[in-house]
Chains A and B, each alone.
Chain A
Amino acid sequence: MELNTFQQQAFDYQRPHIEKFGKRAWFWTIFYLLWIVLGGYALYRQMTKGHGITGMRDNVVWGLYIVNFIFFIGISYAGAIIAGLLHLFKVPWGKPIIRLAQMMTIISVVVGPIFILLCIGRLDRLHYLFIYARLQSPLTWDVVAVLTYFAGSVLFLYMALIKDFSVYRDAKLNIPKWKQKLYTALSLGYRGAASQKRHLIISQNLLAIIIIPLSIIVSSILSWVFGMTLRPGWHSTIFGPYFVLGALYSGCGVLIVAMWVYRKMYKLDDYFTDRHFTYLGYIMMVLAAGYGYFTFSEYFTSWFGSEKWDSEVINKLFNPAQYGWWTLFANVAGIILPIAIVAIPQTRKTGPITLVAFIMVIALWVKRYLIIVPTLESPLIPMQDTRHEYIKYSARWPEWALTFAGIATFMLFFTLISKFVTVVPVSGLEDTKNNREHAMGLLKKEKIQPA
C-alpha cells in the first residue's frame, strides 16, 4: 500500500517498536507475568478449597470480583463508544488515538469477564450456561450480550487494522518469519485497490454504527444484573443510564492515562499531543458533570424519600464510621476534582489532567465498590449473626491477588499488542487532504525524526 509522507514518517518513527522486543518490554512482561502467576495460584487455591478462602459470605455474596468486572467491562464499553464516535464523525484529531481506544476495548473485554468467572462456585459446570440457558435471567442476557459485544469489538479493531497489516507486510521489517507470515495472513491480501477500500470503509462504518448501541445495551444489561433485584441501592430505574455514563467516564480517564504512558514510553509526543489531552479533558469534564448529576439524583431521591431500606444504605454510605470517607473520596476525586482541574485554565495542562484522570479512575473503582458492597451488607432482614465476616465484607488475599493479576493482565496485553501493531495507526492517518492537513497542523513538525 502506498503511504504518503506523513504516514511514512509515522510508520518509520514507530517501526522499532514492532521490530524488536526490547529489554524494557521484557522486564515489564516478566513483572506482569509474576503477578499473573500469583493470581493463578490464588485461583488454584480457590478452586480446590472453595470460595471460603475469599472474604465473600452469605450476605455479601459478591465482592471485589464483581467490582473488577464492572470496572473493566466499563472501560471496554467506553473504548468502543469513543472509538465508534471518533470514527463515525471523522473527528480529525481523533485519528491517532482511535487505535488506543480500540485496544482498550478488546483488552478489557477479555480481562473483565475473567472476574465474573471467579465468582462462579462451580467452574466445572460453566458450559451449563449454554446448554441449560434460561432466557429469563439477566445473567443469560449478559452472557449473550458480552459475547456479541466481544465479537463486534474484535471485528471493529481488526477492520481498522487490515490496512496497517498490509503496511507492515510490505515494509520488509526486520522481524522473525512467523511474524511476517502472520502480518501477511492478517492483511487478507489488501493492496489498496478501489473495491477493497470501499468494502473496508463500509464494513468499518457499519461496525461503528453497530458497536455504539451495542455498548449501551451491554452496559445497561450489566446494570440490570443489579437493578432487577429488589435490593435497596440497586433497584433503581436510572441504573442502566447510570452504568453507561459511569463506563464512558471511567474509560475516558483510562484512555487519557494510557495516552500519557505511551507518550512517555514510546515518545509519541507528536501524535498524542497536548491538544489531545485537552480535548479528552473536556470530554471527561462533561462526563463528570453528567455522572455527578446521576449520582446526586440517586442519593438525593433515596435520602429524601427515606424509605427504611434506602435510608439504611444511605446511612452506611454517609456515615464516617462506615463508608463515609470512601464516599467522600469517590465523589470528590471522582466528580468534583476532574471538573475543577479541567475548568481552570491554569491547570488545564497535560500533567494535571492525566493525574486527575488517574485518580478519577481509582475513585470510580471505589464507587463501584460502594454500589456493590453496602447494598449486600444491608439485607432486608436483620443479619443477627455471630460471625463477623458474614456481617461485614472484607476482601482477603486471593481476591487482592487476583485483582492485581487482572490489572497485570490488562497491562501485559497492552505491552504485547504494542509490540505487534503500531499504537498510532499508520494508514488511519490518511483520508482526505483536508484531514491530513488538519492532523498535520497538530504536530510540531520539526520534532519528527526516524528513531
Chain B
Amino acid sequence: MKQEEINDKGRRDFIKTAAIATVAATACGSLACSCSSKHEPPKTGEKVKLLSQDGEIVEIDSSHLDHGNHMTMAVKASKKQAREGIPGRKFVMVIDLARCKNARKCVSACQKMHHLPEDKEWLTIKLMQDSDKGSPYWFPKTCFHCDNPPCVKVCPVDATFKRQDGLVLIDNERCIGCKFCMAACPYSTRVFNWNEPHQDVSIANYTPETSTPSKIGTVEKCDFCPDMIRQGLLPDCVTACPNGVFYFGDENEDAVTNGDETVSLSQLLKDRGGYRFMEELGTQPRLYYLPPKDRLFPVERGYESLPEKTKEKYKEAMEKKK
C-alpha cells in the first residue's frame, strides 16, 4: 500500500512538472522555458505574450524565457550520478506513428539542443514500408535505450553503460572510439565524430548526461536528454513536435506525456496496439511504437514540403512506393 502511495505521489509530481514544463515549453516555440520550481529565476516584471499549442494566448514573465541554451541552466549531475541514473525511475518513450508527418521539428530541436551540425542526426526520420502492398509511413527513430543493449555488451572499456533508470548513455571521456558498439547496434543509432566537431559551446563540466560537447574520435547518440529530465523537463524532441508524436514518461508511474496530454502507458499501449520495433532481436527496447493506423496526414505531406536536399533522402523509398 505504502509503495503505491509513494508511486502515486511520484506520478502526480511527474505529471505536474512535466505538464507545466511542456505546455510552457511548447508555448514558447523555438524558445524554451525553464519552469523548474526549485530554481525560479528572479522575476523581471516584464510580461510576454505567447501562443500556446492549443491556440490560447498565455502571458508569462520574461524571466521564464531561456534562449535555447539549457545547458547553462542545467542541474549538473556528478559523474557518479550520471552513471547511476535517477533513482526510482524507469524512463520510457512511445512514438505515435499515426501522427507523424515528417515535420522534422524534432530533428532540428535535437540538433539545436545538442549543438549538432546539420548533417548529424541523433534522431532520424525514416520512410518505412513494411511490405510491398503495405502503405509507407514516417518512422522517427531515437535511441531505443534497450534493456538488453547489444552496444553495452560489447564495449571494452565501459564507456557506454546502462543506468538504473533505463537510459543507455555514453561517456565520451572514456570512449576509445573502437566503434564496436556501432557495429553491434542493430538500429544504426550511433554516430561517430569522424572529424573535429566545431561546436560553439561553452560548457564547463561535461557529464554523460549532457553529451555535449562532442569529442573527435568518439561515439555519440540520442540520450533522451537526461539533463532536461533532471530539471523536470521533457526531452526536446517531445516538446518540439507540433503533432504530439512523442510521449515520454516513467514506466514505474505508468504515465507518459506528449506535452498536450498525459496518459497511462499501459492503457495507451493496450488501446493503440503498441509494439516494440524488431522485438525478435531480444534487445528489449524502452521505446514503443503505436502503429500508423487512422493517420492524421497522408505520407506525401511530409515529402512534398521538404527542401530539395532533404527530399533526396527519401527519393528512392518514395519512388519504390509508386
Contacts and interface: CB of A to CB of B under 8 A. Distances in A.
Interface of A: 49-52, 56-59, 61-62, 119-122, 125-126, 128-129, 132-134, 136-140, 143, 225-226, 228-231, 376, 379-387
B157 to A, nearest CB: 4
Given A52-B195, A120-B177, A387-B119, A139 B187 contact: no
A126 B178 CA distance: 10
Contacts of B177: 51, 120-122, 125
B183 A230 contact: no
Interface in B197-245: 216-219
Given A381-B126, A381-B188, A50 B196 contact: yes
Contact of B154 (A61, A125, A228): A228
B194 A140 contact: no
A377 to B, nearest CB: 11
A58 B156 CA distance: 19
B191 to A, nearest CB: 5
Interface string B121-153: 000101110000000000001000000001001
A125 B188 contact: no
Interface in B254-298: 278, 281, 283
B186 A132 contact: no
B186 A230 contact: yes
Given A376-B183, A380-B188, A132 B157 contact: yes
Interface in B93-133: 119, 124, 126-128
B183 A386 contact: no
Contacts of A383: 188
B184 A229 contact: yes
A20 B175 CA distance: 48
B217 A121 contact: yes
A430 to B, nearest CB: 46
Nearest to B128: A382
Which of B119, B128, B194 neighbours the largest number of chain A CB atoms within 10 Å of its CB?
Answer: B194
Which of A52, A125, A136, A138 neighbours the largest number of chain B CB atoms within 10 Å of its CB?
Answer: A125
B156 A143 contact: yes
Contact of A61 (B174, B183, B187, B195): B183
Given A119-B178, A122-B177, A229-B150, A384 B183 contact: no
8 contacts: A122-B175, A125-B157, A134-B157, A139-B156, A229-B186, A379-B186, A381-B141, A385-B313
B176 interface: yes
B153 A137 contact: yes
A384 B156 CA distance: 30
Contact of A128 (B119, B154, B174, B188): B174
Given A230-B184, A384-B316, 17 more contacts: A56-B194, A59-B188, A119-B179, A121-B178, A121-B216, A122-B175, A122-B177, A128-B157, A132-B174, A140-B156, A143-B156, A228-B184, A380-B188, A381-B126, A382-B126, A384-B127, A384-B313
A56 B312 CA distance: 22
A100 to B, nearest CB: 33
A62 B191 CA distance: 13
A136 B187 contact: no
Given A121-B216, A134-B156, A386-B313, A51 B180 contact: no
A386 B187 CA distance: 18
B76 to A, nearest CB: 23
B192 A58 contact: yes
A380 B192 CA distance: 18
A312 B150 CA distance: 22
B193 A121 contact: yes
Nearest to B282: A230
B36 to A, nearest CB: 34
Contacts of A56: 194
B278 A380 contact: yes
A120 B154 contact: no
A125 B183 contact: no
Nearest to A225: B180
A283 B317 CA distance: 50
Contacts of A228: 153-154, 184
A129 B178 CA distance: 10
B186 A58 contact: no
A133 B183 contact: no
Which of B156, B187, B283 neighbours the largest number of chain A CB atoms within 10 Å of its CB?
Answer: B156
Contacts of B184: 228-231
Contact of B182 (A58, A140, A143, A384): A58
Nearest to B153: A136
A228 to B, nearest CB: 7
B186 A380 contact: yes
Contacts of A230: 150, 184, 186, 281, 283
Contacts of A137: 153-156, 180
B154 A229 contact: yes
A379 B158 contact: no
Contacts of A379: 186, 188
Nearest to A379: B188
B80 interface: no
B39 interface: no
A379 B182 CA distance: 11
A193 to B, nearest CB: 47
B309 interface: yes
Contact of A50 (B158, B216, B312): B216
B192 A121 contact: yes
A376 B183 CA distance: 7
Nearest to B152: A136
A387 to B, nearest CB: 7
A144 to B, nearest CB: 11
B183 to A, nearest CB: 6
Contacts of B150: 229-230
Nearest to B141: A381
Nearest to A382: B126
A398 to B, nearest CB: 13
Contacts of B182: 58, 61
When A and B form their complex, which 7 residue pairs have the shortest distance between CB atoms, in order from nearest? A121-B177, A121-B217, A52-B194, A52-B195, A139-B156, A61-B179, A137-B156
Contacts of B155: 134, 137
B158 A134 contact: yes
A288 B317 CA distance: 42
B175 to A, nearest CB: 7
A139 B192 CA distance: 18
